[in-house]
A and B are shown apart, each in its own frame.
Chain A
Amino acid sequence: MDRIASAAGFRSAASRRRGLAKAMGLLAGAAVLCATGVAMAEPTTGRPVFDQVSNMFQPVSVPAAKIRDLALLVLAICGGIFVVVGGLIAYTLIRFRARPGDEHREPPQVYGSSNIEAAWTIVPVIIVVVLFLATARTINELELKEPPESALQVTVVGHRWWWEFQYPEYGIVTANELHVPASTPDAPRPTFLWLESVDVAHSFWVPRLAGKTDVIPNRRNTLWLETAQPGLYLGQCAEYCGTQHAHMLLRVYVHTPEDFARWVEEQKAPEAEVASVAAGRDLFQRTACINCHAASGTVADGTFGPSLSHLMSRETIGAGVAMNTPDNLRAWIRDPQTMKPGVRMPDMKLADHEVDAIVDYLVTLR
């Protein structure tokens, strides 16, 4: 699995405003730098190590880049207004401050001026019209309600508190870690997401790839992205959805087309039946696990919890609450409520040797 560290951002056609980008980059960069400095500290045991910052000013995908360009324009205009108005306030305060001896003298009483009022009404109106037109143009550019021919379509289903990803084209169902192909100039391949929820409202947000879109029950929203930059991009649920809203993380892996094809093949391949873990597999099939989880090659076809097919191809468990290691799996099965308080998975009260057997089986799901 490639995890190319974040290289330079997506080079969109509109990288003309580079000076501006630099200024904003400096600002955000300064914040990022000091922030990541602290992040180098030893990570808590079992927690995923994140090496990436989801800075919306380092877009790697077409929609995110378009938003960045528009945002820079807006920031420039607003920054200008702030300097002018803030400067005016400061100047007024200094220039017209009462001085000793002013206590009993009143300044000239001025009641207003229609000309000045007209000026400071018309100028803001013009600025607002400019901002509005720029906004309307970008809304129009980014709106895409139907998937283009070449697009990979994925159905994203929000659950409390994990993500289900269905690839109808390939018959793949996976969870929490979204894999998509990069789009190359010869073979453009945008990714088109259908967003659905089975319970409450969630929101799909991976800042470097696209703006967020809410995931609402009884409604089918759409979101698209197109990136040329393989890598891992982080995001998470952005609409408060209850107890574990904080642990509903998103990992999006962008692969080169070849790597993506390989990933698809791996996911479609049947699980290898490893004889030595037959006990664990039997136990898994005899307990309540199968009520909620599915696992290919077994009778398990539950849909309340994430599918466990090819579980070991994922890097995290519990929607990003811990790294996917045998030890963490064991701790998770033994007591999910400690690792992720409020999670829907109950403590199954299994004996230690039963937990071990099930984990032995699970780690063969590659």
Chain B
Amino acid sequence: MTAIDGSVLPAEAAARTSFWIRAHEWATTVDHKRLGLLYISSGLVFFLIAGLEASAIRAQLAFANNDLIGPNTFNRLMTVHGTTMVFFVGMPIFFGFGNYLIPLMIGARDLAFPRLNAFGYWLFLFGGLLFYFSWIGGDGLYGTGTAPDVGWFAYSPLTSPAFSPGNSTDYWILGIMVAGFGSTATALNFVATILCMRCPGMTLGKMPLFVWMMLVNGFLVLVALTPLTAAQVMLLFDRFLDSHFFDTQAGGSAVLWQHFFWVFGHPEVYILILPAFAVASEVTPVFSRKPIFGYEIMVAATTGIGFISLGVWAHHMFTVGLSGPVNTFFTASTMAIAVPTGIKIFNWLGTMWGGRIRLRMPMLWVCAFLFEFVIAGLTGVMLAVVPFDWQLSDSYFVVAHFHFVLIGGLLYNIFAGIYYWFPKATGKMLSERLGRWHFWVFVAGFNVTFGTMHFQGLLGMPRRIYTYDPGRGWDLLNLITSLGVILQAIGILFFLVNVLWSLRRGEDAGQDPWDAWTLEWSTTSPPPAYNFEKIPVVQSRRPLWDLKHPNDPDWRYE
């Protein structure tokens, strides 16, 4: 045991003080790896909370005219669930991955601004805590406060003081805004690090695809988050200083808020999904035993998605009554984005084709992701067809669609990433056996719940209703949807048990358990604080392949 000053403590003293010493170390750390783990573990805690909220929502909706949860609580739950999953689960977990992996992958010793990095994490955490404090501290006029109940996109004028008295909406605004400053700082850090701190030999064209996608992602965060923050400031002005940006009673515009929100909100979808693509792009080659197929095209598709994603926002607003030409334009841009996304899927498939696919846990998750994401993409195309969207928008079909994106796309890759890099971060392998239980039970539950949900939508069930009458064709479908949640919960339990068990008893991982090719596998597991004893020098996109196959290195072909 080593104390902070490096002196060796007697064993007893260590046992007594180690908790506080370690807590202090973690609280004051500026190490990108520790901050990465903090991001991921806080994100997982928020994930469990938001998952419980979703379970309560589904329990309420399992039966017609159920009165388990009243309308007020239901509306708060669905608002908090959505907000948490987007802002306090999806984003931080991938910031965690980026934090941990970017320096390791580009052969750097930390991010460009380590203290800014720590600042970003704590802003995120306090933003999340502030948001959740609303459950107990958000008491407003006549007890109307507590948690926000305006939906995660908080359409005006529902958020104006007239319709949202008390402070609940202010917690929504401030919690997200505080976390958003942290996200901006972290994105800036990623971009600076990737552009300035790559090791000798690593040109932009030799970066791992993970790093490429995080780079595009960083730019997207910088561009997209600012309109949201601006709109939230305007909303605060409306709520406290009597301005009238969104106050329709005084001539403000409800549609303006929708534009602001979705100018952020749609790139946000890609902010969430690009890191998922990044994980898939690392896992697929290693477990197919082949280099990624069409590296340059993948980079082009990623940047293409980055740019096009800034011009598709109004497809969330097809029912707002925009004019025909506007709707037509956004159909075109939305469908255009399907092309680079499709190219990615084909390139992963091309990578697998002709390989020797090892179906270990990370790869299993990526394969399941490919299936679910094809479905998500196709329902996305359906929603881009404006007249069809007039039927599907704001129905359970949309709810099904975006859960296929955010669970089948995002969460599956979070799991893939955790199974893949857990050995690097902890030195222990996750159990393959528990992992398979986790995988099959969760995937089954997910498809039962969200596959079914498409049909409620086709039968006219709008989202965000806290109850419904029997006989409209939704009863059995809703019961099935809710039963799937039980399977998902059991799957998550397997995951938690797996993590806790493997931390103690997991097999030793060694430096490079997957026989992989990127730089993070060239250092110890877990890596030392300085990452690399000697800054590596690379010649190709797969430096470890070159090392392992000195007779047939990659740089001869690239």
Contact = CB atoms under 8 A, between A and B. Distances in A.
B472 A219 contact: no
Nearest to B160: A200
Contacts of B158: 200-201, 240-242
Given A74-B381, A124-B338, A96 B352 contact: yes
Given A78-B382, A109-B290, A131-B381, A93 B352 contact: yes
Contacts of B163: 160, 199-200, 242
Nearest to B466: A246
A238 interface: yes
Given A203-B319, A222-B321, A240-B158, A135 B378 contact: no
Contact of A117 (B321, B328, B343): B343
Contacts of B324: 139-140, 143
Contact of A85 (B332, B345, B386, B552): B345
Contacts of B65: 44, 47
A116 interface: yes
Contacts of A63: 387
Contact of B459 (A28, A40, A93): A28
Contacts of A259: none
Contacts of B455: 28, 31, 35
Nearest to A42: B470
Interface string B367-404: 10011001100110110111111110111000000000
A138 interface: yes
B253 A218 contact: yes
B558 A54 contact: no
Contacts of A88: 349
Nearest to B159: A200
Interface string A35-46: 111111101100
B339 A81 contact: no
Contacts of B19: none
Interface string A1-40: 0000000000000000000000000001001101111111
Given A67-B387, A135-B386, A214 B460 contact: no
Given A98-B358, A201-B254, A43 B331 contact: no
Nearest to A98: B356
A135 B331 contact: yes
B459 A55 contact: yes
A117 B297 contact: yes
Contacts of A213: 319, 321, 390
Contact of B290 (A107, A134, A211): A107
A31 B387 CA distance: 23
B346 interface: yes
Given A131-B381, A139-B386, A57 B458 contact: yes
A112 B296 contact: yes
B476 A70 contact: no
B464 interface: yes
Contacts of A242: 75, 149, 158, 163
A187 interface: no
B356 A121 contact: no
Contact of B465 (A81, A105, A106, A245): A245
Given A212-B391, A222-B321, A236-B462, A112 B297 contact: yes
Interface string A162-175: 00000000000000
Contact residues on B (Cβ < 8 Å of other chain), bracket: 35 or more
A48 B358 CA distance: 57
B472 A96 contact: no
B469 interface: yes
Contacts of A71: 382, 385, 387-388, 391
Contact residues on A (Cβ < 8 Å of other chain), bracket: 35 or more
B320 interface: yes
Contact of B374 (A52, A89, A106): A89
A174 to B, nearest CB: 21
B471 A50 contact: yes
A16 to B, nearest CB: 18
Contacts of B473: 31-32, 35-36, 39, 53-55
A239 B155 CA distance: 9
B391 A116 contact: no
B114 interface: no
Contacts of A246: 71, 465-468
A216 B257 CA distance: 12
A110 B65 CA distance: 58
B157 interface: yes
Given A120-B346, A218-B248, A38 B385 contact: no
A342 B143 CA distance: 13
Contacts of B458: 28, 31, 55-57
A243 interface: yes
Nearest to A105: B356
Contacts of B378: 78, 81-82
Interface in A50-107: 50-57, 63-64, 66-67, 70-71, 74-75, 78, 81-82, 85-86, 88-89, 92-93, 96-99, 102, 105-107
Given A31-B455, A53-B460, A54-B473, 18 more contacts: A52-B472, A54-B460, A67-B391, A89-B367, A92-B353, A107-B288, A107-B355, A109-B554, A110-B290, A124-B338, A128-B335, A128-B339, A135-B331, A203-B462, A213-B321, A218-B253, A240-B151, A320-B469
Q: 5 closest A-B pairs (Cβ-Cβ)?
A: A211-B390, A54-B460, A246-B465, A53-B473, A39-B471
Interface of B: 64-65, 70-72, 75, 149, 151, 155, 157-158, 162-163, 248-249, 251-255, 288-291, 293-297, 319-321, 324, 327-328, 331-332, 335-336, 338-339, 342-343, 345-347, 349-350, 352-359, 367, 370-371, 374-375, 378-379, 381-382, 384-391, 393-395, 455, 458-460, 462-477, 479, 552, 554, 557-558
7 contacts: A37-B476, A107-B354, A109-B552, A124-B339, A131-B335, A139-B331, A218-B251
